[in-house]
């Protein structure tokens, strides 16, 4: 596969599908079902990390996640007869995407979850679309800020304030740093979403595989030098959680993600962020025994309200009924 055959530029070329062509397509039962499944899978990632951090160190967990996932996807690429590109410029882009979408945010979330509960981390991670609309305004020509989006951003950040708690900032302890780390992950996810537009036209499985391989190569020296993982002795439950994290919440999640992106569009994927914290909270409460406080639910409600304002479709339906 030659690099000239692929679109790796931020702007679309003449004759290629426009980014706006996939912004908001109608969804059928299959797409709704895939979004629901994806929300459970990604909600489960916070649950799996919540188990793994009890016996393993953050960078080692991330290395296992991207390493196992890359092996699984390489097998899928081989079995389906696909080919990985050989272009150095493309692999450079894969490495950048891997840093933005995997290495940095995964590490921040895992480290954050060593100090905060999985349910709280999932709610904070739901702020990703808030970062996305701000960055898209400055970095793209298609996605400019509107009144609804500005309102959504404001409401969303009020929700984050309620979630963290103003009184917590006075002490500014390690728990607050953990929350800020997860917020930072949301920022890098938003950067990755914008950078990833240059892969338009490429096979999503190939992109995911290249990205995860790049992430693995970068993670190996970091984990080995900083954490010496050979000194760890995780049990069977931890290994099972790592397998679930890589096989289900990473490999399978990316395949479903790109399927929905292709058939329903980028805006519809925003709906996943409404559902991920719900499944993560349920798993955290039922299995891990977590007990989110009132501020967690109040902050989540405000963040969801902000996301609805950013998405805009619910407000449009209300206006039509009037």
In the chain, where the domains are located: 28-321
Q: What is the mean pLDDT of residues 6-24?
A: 42
Are the C-beta atoms of 300 and 156 separated by less than 8 Å? no
Pick the more confident residue, 58 or 197.
58
Given a cut of 80, whether residue 9 has pLDDT beyond it is no
Cβ neighbourhood burial of 261 (10 Å; 0-12, 13-18, 19+): middle
Given a cut of 90, whether residue 60 has pLDDT beyond it is yes
**What pTM does this model have?**
0.83
Q: What counts of helices (H) and strands (E) characterise the chain?
A: 16, 0
Q: What local confidence, expressed as pLDDT, does residue 161 receive?
A: 82
Pick the more confident residue, 3 or 272.
272
pLDDT tens by residue, 119-173: 889 888 888 888 888 888 888 776 677 788 788 888 888 888 887 776 565 556 7
- In sequence order, the 6+-apart residues with CB closer than 8 A to the CB of 223 are 57, 59, 60, 62, 63, 229
Supply the angle between the helices 236-243 and 29-52 in degrees, to the nearest 10.
Answer: 150
Residue 312: strand, helix, or coil: coil
The alpha carbon dihedral of 281, 266, 184, 294 has a sign of: negative
CA gyration radius, the chain: 19
Place of tokens 């954490």: 227
């Amino acid at each position: 596969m030659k690099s000239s055959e692929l679109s790796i530029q931020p702007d679309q070329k003449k004759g290629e599908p426009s980014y706006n062509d996939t912004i908001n397509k109608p969804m059928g039962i299959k797409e709704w079902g895939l979004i629901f499944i994806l929300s459970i899978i990604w909600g489960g990632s916070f649950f799996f990390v919540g188990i793994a951090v009890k016996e393993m160190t953050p960078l080692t967990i991330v290395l296992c996640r991207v390493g196992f996932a890359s092996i699984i996807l390489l097998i899928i690429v081989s079995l389906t007869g696909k080919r990985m590109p050989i272009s150095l410029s493309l692999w450079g882009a894969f490495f950048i995407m891997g840093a933005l979408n995997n290495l940095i945010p995964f590490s921040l979330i895992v480290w954050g979850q060593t100090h905060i509960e999985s349910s709280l981390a999932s709610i904070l991670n739901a702020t990703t679309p808030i970062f996305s609309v701000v960055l898209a305004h400055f970095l793209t020509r298609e996605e400019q800020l509107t009144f609804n989006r500005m309102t959504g951003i404001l409401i969303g950040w009020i929700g984050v304030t309620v979630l963290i708690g103003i009184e917590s900032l006075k002490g500014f302890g390690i728990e607050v740093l953990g929350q800020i780390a997860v917020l930072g992950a949301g920022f890098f996810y938003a950067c990755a979403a914008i950078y990833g537009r240059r892969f338009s036209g490429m096979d999503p499985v190939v992109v995911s595989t290249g990205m995860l391989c790049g992430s693995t190569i970068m993670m190996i020296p970091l984990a080995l030098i900083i954490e010496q993982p050979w000194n760890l002795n995780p049990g069977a439950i931890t290994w099972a959680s790592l397998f679930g994290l890589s096989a289900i919440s990473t490999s399978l999640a990316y395949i479903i993600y790109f399927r929905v992106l292709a058939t329903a569009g980028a805006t519809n994927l925003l709906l996943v962020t409404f559902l991920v914290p719900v499944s993560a909270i349920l798993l955290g409460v039922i299995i891990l025994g977590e007990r989110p406080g009132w501020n967690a639910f109040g902050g989540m409600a405000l963040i969801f309200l902000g996301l609805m304002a950013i998405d805009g479709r619910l407000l449009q339906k209300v206006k039509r009924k009037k």
